[in-house]
Structure 1
Amino acid sequence: MRNDMDMRALWKGQPAPVADLDAMRRRIRRFALRRIGEACAVIVLMMAAIAAGVLIWTCWPPRLMLTRVGIVLACAGFMLPVWSYGRALRLYYGLKPDCSNRDYMDRLLKIKREEYRQRHAVLNLYFLLLSLGFALYSYEYAFSRSFCFGVTACSILLLWIALNWFVFRPRLLKRRSRSFSDFMKCVERCRNQLSE
């Protein structure tokens, strides 16, 4: 007995899995709310750090120009996340649940580009400005006492800068990248199903 089944016709006849867009939007909403909360916390902390820098400048005015430049660089470093998270907040608030699926996905891709820029360019510049700012700021106070105290203070500062660059920054990059890439894989799957 010969079996004449057309496998291609059977395969095409199977129903394609439909993307559960409501579940996807709920997941996106939870993710967006978590990022909005994180952004608000970072903005508040960075503004407090800038206020502390201004308070230090006004209450204990530095004598050296290097110290003033250090405070300005540190405040500029603290201002970078405020600016970057402010842009991200506008994008997250732009995710309206009543817009079309295609528009929703396009906005998510804009968020993806902003997150990538924030993870790489802004975070590296943030650590660079903070490292330079703290190094220049601490110079006056470290060497105003004794030489031994200055060398010890500079060694501790250099150790702290090295820890930031080689331990904390890569971990922060990896953690943010992993959580966002898992989320974006799910979004890309949904986008591909919508385009078919």
Structure 2
Amino acid sequence: MSSNINFKTLWQQQAVIEPDMKDLMERLQQFKKSNINLLIRTNISLITTSLLIGIIWYYYQPQFITTKIGIVTIILAMVTFLLAQNKMFAQFKKIDNTSDNHQYLQNLLVIGDKQRFLQHTMMNIYFTMLLAGICLYMYEYTSRMTILAGIITYTVTGAWIAFVWFYLRPRTIKKQQARLDDLISKFEGINRQMLDT
């Protein structure tokens, strides 16, 4: 084996990879920023909603125990989801400009695993608790309505939840997964290029 290393050839090969890396790093930072912004918006939205529900409980003093259990279940669903989701902050903070390509790839793979857990397991728990809480909460108010009005109220609420569950949620998951998969495949490609040189 020759101990002579052709640095000029290595440098030229790296020059071919470098523009791709610059673009990839911009994509990575954009991915990180958009996901952190999404986490912040979700926190603000769910915390605000929980506070409003608490204020409604305080001011309107529901009479039925089902209404109170419904309110607690809804707030608990939001808190549980936020606790699980906020663990992603630490993972996104690990993505920085000082890591090597292999570390970027490992961080993205971990984010992918945690994202799938959030999108499936935690989302199932969240929606189940939310649906149960809403149904319990609405019982006191729909019991004062005519049967037809109560059925319409539950049907409209159920239709909205079904729309979110079966249409919006899968589209959002697919979009998030596609962005992450694209980044992972690019880093895998660059890692293979580095190994081949």
Partner of 2:41: 41
Distance 1:48 1:131 in 2: 19
Number of equivalences: 183
Q: How far 1:92 moved relative to its partner?
A: 0.7
Within the alignment, does 1:96 sit opposite 2:87 as a pair?
Answer: no
Within the alignment, does 1:115 sit opposite 2:115 as a pair?
Answer: yes
Q: How far 1:76 moved relative to its partner?
A: 2.0
Partner of 2:3: none
1:36·1:92 contact (CA, 8 Å) conserved in 2?
Answer: yes
Within the alignment, does 1:52 sit opposite 2:49 as a pair?
Answer: no
Change (3 A) 1:92 1:57: same
Gap runs ≥5 in structure 1: 1-12
2:73·2:132 contact (CA, 8 Å) conserved in 1?
Answer: yes
Change (3 A) 1:137 1:191: farther
Q: Which amino acid aligns with 2:122?
A: V
Partner of 1:29: 29
Q: Which has the higher contact order (CA 8 A, sep 6+)?
A: 2
Q: Which amino acid aligns with 2:148?
A: C
Could you say what secondary structure the match of 2:86 adopts?
helix
Q: How far 1:170 moved relative to its partner?
A: 2.2
Could you say what secondary structure the match of 1:63 adopts?
coil
Partner of 1:3: none
Q: Which amino acid aligns with 2:78?
A: F
Change (3 A) 1:93 1:153: same
Q: How far 1:72 moved relative to its partner?
A: 1.6
Distance 1:95 1:187 in 2: 13
Distance 1:79 1:191 in 2: 39
1:157-178: CA deviations, max 9, x gaps?
2222322332222222222222
Within the alignment, does 1:85 sit opposite 2:85 as a pair?
Answer: yes
1:58-107: CA deviations, max 9, x gaps?
11122112111211221122224422331111111122212333333322
Q: How far 1:138 moved relative to its partner?
A: 0.7
Q: Which moved further from structure 2: 183-192 or 53-62?
A: 183-192
Change (3 A) 1:72 1:191: farther
Distance 1:178 1:103 in 2: 20
1:46·1:81 contact (CA, 8 Å) conserved in 2?
Answer: no
Gap runs ≥5 in structure 2: 1-8
Relative to the length of structure 2, the TM-score reads: 0.80
Q: Which amino acid aligns with 1:50?
A: S
Partner of 2:164: 164
Distance 2:192 2:67 in 1: 54
Q: How far 1:37 moved relative to its partner?
A: 1.0
Q: Which amino acid aligns with 1:24?
A: L
Change (3 A) 1:28 1:133: same
Change (3 A) 1:194 1:57: farther
Q: Which amino acid aligns with 1:57?
A: W
Partner of 2:192: 192
Within the alignment, does 1:138 sit opposite 2:173 as a pair?
Answer: no
Partner of 1:75: 75
1:70·1:132 contact (CA, 8 Å) conserved in 2?
Answer: yes
